[in-house]
Copies of this chain bind each other. A is one copy, B any other.
């Protein structure tokens, strides 16, 4: 898919790229299992043996667009070992083997170019490590999975359930047949690992990232959030933690509806980056698709060629160490809570007492008129509290005789 887009646009915009960057990009060889997908004019340069491509002395830059983690890792290692710069759009590969691959690149004095790995065509990698190079990164809040944002946007606009929208999203090609990589937040976490590495100068382990997906989000909570002035988005959140660790977490999040990030709808992606010098910035565009991704891959290939032209392995320093991620139960966040409470006096007092006992302030309470069967919805927005404390209080509240299922708790970021 992305390979096809890359080839198409390179052939089409070759002269423009040459004019702007001074490099003359040529496709020397294509390694492909299905030759029918290669344009006729390039069929003579197509092989099913990727090793012959990587080892061809005329091939100066290797572009890996196959995806997946196993064969892609083998190709990436072979390219770097052959001292050839690697261009890749593969976020899973970098999230799992970034430390190893960047180490190998350093050892072989070559570079890895990965603009297409996060945010599709949005030049977010370039913005973070070049444009904002003078900034300590205070926070990153990213909507970086188009499938999840498409589903949440439709749920918000149409008031329909997740189960209904996911079926339509699959039919329309906005969700894969196996949707779990997207809707369970894994893909967002892969990209979060890459963004965190740029913000902090170290890699984080996938297993250290707290990940929640969007399957449990109901149209009801989206609608209540709207009434309270918030929009629910699946966010990657990256922040420094007080204990010299990095917060890297992925979960559905209430954000203020009047923020620019909340206005990002459908399949679009956006990454809000706050720096200590620049203040708040935001980058927006299509986060996936053959065309948008090709734009980023082409930029990377032009960069790699420019670096080869001056014998530089890469313009910016890379890093190949792991850093500490803050444990989720130590992280301080705010929460939106929806409880199903028996419609009787004294319930609010019981709930408030438990939050109070755990030192958690209640910022606002909302009890809508409507109710189903014996319970009424009781909505609360809480002040900042440590996750562990919140979870203790929340379990205790759910055990109250006056509180029934379903209950829901979703974290909230107010960008303050």
Q: Chain A interface (Cβ within 8 Å of chain B)?
A: 9-10, 13, 16-17, 19-22, 115, 120-123, 126-127, 129-136, 201, 258-260, 263-264, 268, 270, 275-286, 289, 291-292, 294-296, 298-299, 302-303, 306, 310-312, 315-317
Complex Cα gap A20–B298 (Å)? 24
Total copies of this chain within the assembly: 2
The reply to whether B134 and A130 form a contact with Cβ atoms under 8 Å apart is no
A165 to chain B, nearest CB (A): 20
A344 to chain B, nearest CB (A): 42
**Residue A126 contacts which of B131, B135, B289, B302 (CB distance < 8 angstroms)?**
B131
Given contacts A17-B134, A260-B263, A299-B132, whether A291 and B317 have CB atoms under 8 Å apart is no
Given contacts A20-B129, A134-B294, A134-B302, 4 further A-B contacts (CB under 8 A): A13-B135, A19-B201, A263-B263, A282-B285
Sample (12) of A-B pairs whose CB atoms are under 8 Å apart: A13-B134, A17-B133, A121-B278, A123-B127, A126-B127, A131-B299, A134-B298, A258-B263, A277-B291, A279-B285, A279-B289, A283-B284
Complex Cα gap A108–B192 (Å)? 43
**Residue A130 contacts which of B13, B126, B291, B317 (CB distance < 8 angstroms)?**
B126
The reply to whether A134 and B16 form a contact with Cβ atoms under 8 Å apart is yes
Tell me which residues across on chain B come within 8 A of A286, comparing CB atoms: 278-281
Pick the most buried of A120, A259, A278, A310: most chain B CB atoms within 10 A of its CB.
A278
Given contacts A16-B136, A123-B130, A263-B260, whether A295 and B312 have CB atoms under 8 Å apart is no
A321 to chain B, nearest CB (A): 13
Complex Cα gap A260–B272 (Å)? 13
A157 to chain B, nearest CB (A): 11
Given contacts A130-B123, A134-B16, whether A281 and B284 have CB atoms under 8 Å apart is yes
A4 to chain B, nearest CB (A): 13
Tell me which residues across on chain B come within 8 A of A13, comparing CB atoms: 134-136, 276-277
The reply to whether B134 and A123 form a contact with Cβ atoms under 8 Å apart is no
Given contacts A201-B19, A310-B310, whether A123 and B131 have CB atoms under 8 Å apart is yes
A207 to chain B, nearest CB (A): 27
The reply to whether A264 and B275 form a contact with Cβ atoms under 8 Å apart is no
The reply to whether B278 and A295 form a contact with Cβ atoms under 8 Å apart is yes
The reply to whether B292 and A279 form a contact with Cβ atoms under 8 Å apart is yes
